[in-house]
Structure 1
Amino acid sequence: MQLHILKGYIQNIYLVQEDAGLLLLDGCSRADIATLCDYIEQHLALPLSALKLIMVTHMHPDHAGGAHKLRRLTGAQIACHPKARRWYAGLLGRTAHLIDVSLTWWVANRLGKAKKHIWYNPILKPDLLLLDGQSLPGFADWQVLYTPGHTDHDLSLLHVPTKQLYIADLIVSVKKRLVPPYPVCHPNQYKQSLKRVSDLAPNQLYFAHLPPRAAASINFDAILAQAPTLPKNHWHSMKNRILHTLGRQTKQH
């Protein structure tokens, strides 16, 4: 197993190369498609059809945005957790999708990146639905871990023989400190997921927005201590701002 790490639009791209073909550990953003295809064809000297499986760990723009188009270009299958299909469903879901696309551009701007086309269908149409503990089809050494909290459908991906684990957005960095991500939609599930990763004691961790590092170097208790007790997402932030404004107005009168 070879793991190729590419620099994406706002996140790391993890491309696994095995005898069975290529496995993409996350669906990238729409802006990453050319980067990935050029790498496969130019650097690896392989046809795009070598990409066999595209995992979507969760539906945010930098993890799912390239999946549908990559499937059209390569013929690869898309796999995700069953709940991923409904994450952006309905009026509230579409609103959340607009916010998340805007946040992606905001992050890109903070990183000094130009604004790029990243729009994608918010309703994922996967070929495969995977549950906790299942092996990845065609890549039997890789196992799905259901690690919700950031969303209700987050997946982490474990290379069983080497105990290397990709955890997507389970941990991020703010001002060089490891912290929980934003949003944390399900705080209790998030804490359970983080504890599960800690108990697993993987040899190496891979992150969407951080360089790889040894799991033993991470103070999981410190990150757990920072985890919210109530949901921390768009809707709760908006509600709190409204309540704060109403409270301030009431005091003034």
Structure 2
Amino acid sequence: MALHKLDGYIQSIFLAEHTDGFMLLDGCSRPDVSLVISFIEQTLGRKKEDLKLVVVTHMHPDHAGGANLFRKLTGCKLAAANVSGQWYGGVSGTIMHWTDIALAQYVAKRKERPFSRIWYARTLSPDIKLEDGEKIPGFKEWTAHFTQGHTDRDLSLHHISSDRIYIADLIVKVKDKYFPPVPVSYPNRYKRSLEKLRQLGPKEVILAHGAETPIEMIDFDYLLQRAPNEPLTQWKVIWKNIHERLLFNMFKKKDRP
């Protein structure tokens, strides 16, 4: 198995190459679809139809944004956690979907990416619904683990023989430090997922926002201390930043002579 890393629109892309086909470890952002297909065809010299499976670890724009388009263009199957309902279901889910797309565009701008359409369907109908601890159909070297907390359906993908595990957004790396993601929608589940990862004890963890990292570099006690005790939403973080900026400007004006 060869694991190819590509620099995606706002996240890292990991493509597992096996003799009988490719498995994409996440659904990417919508602009990444052409990048992945071009890499398969032009760099690796294989057909786009050799992409057999795309695993969607959760429904955020940089993890599910390209999934349906991949299926349409390559005929691949989509796999996701066997969790009932849709993450972006209902009126509140629609608003959250718009918010997450807007935030993804903001991140892209911060990364100085050219503007690109990242809109995608807020619902997903996977061909394969994975259970916790299940070997991935067609790719038996890989095991799916439920690592919920960021959302209600997060997956991590463990390649047993190399002892590496792709953890999507369970942990994010910012300036050489490791933090919980935003949002943490289910704090108790999130903490249990960190403990689960620690107990699995893989040789390396692979972050969607970071890199391949030796497990000993992860300070789980620090992450557990930083993990919120109540749901931490994007709006709470946005409001906190606005509030802090307003206070900063107010005191700055007072300090002026």
Q: How does the TM-score come out when normalised to structure 1?
A: 0.91
Equivalent residues of 1:56, 1:80 under 8 A apart = yes
Equivalent residues of 2:101, 2:119 under 8 A apart = yes
Structure 1 residue 125 displacement after superposition: 1.4
1:49 counterpart letter in structure 2:
E
Query: What residue number does 1:251 align with?
Result: none
Structure 1 residue 153 displacement after superposition: 0.4
Question: CA deviation digits over 1:180-224, x for unaligned, max 9?
Answer: 000000000000001111111101110001011101121111111
Query: What residue number does 2:146 align with?
Result: 146
Question: CA deviation digits over 1:28-67, x for unaligned, max 9?
Answer: 0101011101000001100011000000000000000000
Query: What residue number does 2:163 align with?
Result: 163
Structure 1 residue 83 displacement after superposition: 2.6
Query: What residue number does 2:249 align with?
Result: none
Query: What residue number does 1:82 align with?
Result: 82
Equivalent residues of 1:85, 1:124 under 8 A apart = no
Query: What residue number does 2:255 align with?
Result: none
Query: What residue number does 1:209 align with?
Result: 209
Structure 1 residue 175 displacement after superposition: 4.0
Q: Counterparts of 1:38-187 in structure 2 under 5 Å?
A: 38-83=38-83, 86-187=86-187
Query: What residue number does 1:244 align with?
Result: none
Structure 1 residue 174 displacement after superposition: 3.2
Question: CA deviation digits over 1:96-121, x for unaligned, max 9?
Answer: 00000001011111111122110000
Question: CA deviation digits over 1:110-140, x for unaligned, max 9?
Answer: 1111221100000011111101011111000
CA distance 1:173–1:238, shift in 2 (3 Å): closer
CA distance 1:85–1:57, shift in 2 (3 Å): farther
CA distance 1:108–1:133, shift in 2 (3 Å): same
Equivalent residues of 2:150, 2:186 under 8 A apart = yes
Query: What residue number does 1:20 align with?
Result: 20
CA distance 1:84–1:75, shift in 2 (3 Å): farther
1:143 counterpart letter in structure 2:
T
Structure 1 residue 161 displacement after superposition: 1.5
Aligned partners of 1:131, 1:3: CA distance in 2, in Å?
23
Equivalent residues of 2:79, 2:129 under 8 A apart = yes
Aligned partners of 1:49, 1:84: CA distance in 2, in Å?
29
Moved more, 213-222 or 151-160: 213-222
Q: Note the residue ranges of structure 2 that are not aligned, 5 or more in a row.
A: 242-257
Question: CA deviation digits over 1:144-195, x for unaligned, max 9?
Answer: 0000000010000001122110000011123432110000000000000011
Count of matched residue positions in the alignment of Structure 1 and Structure 2: 241
Q: Note the residue ranges of structure 1 that are not aligned, 5 or more in a row.
A: 242-253
Residue 189, structure 1, aligned to residue 189, structure 2:
yes
Structure 1 residue 20 displacement after superposition: 2.3
Equivalent residues of 1:157, 1:165 under 8 A apart = yes
Aligned partners of 1:211, 1:161: CA distance in 2, in Å?
19
Structure 1 residue 234 displacement after superposition: 3.8
Q: How does the TM-score come out when normalised to structure 2?
A: 0.90
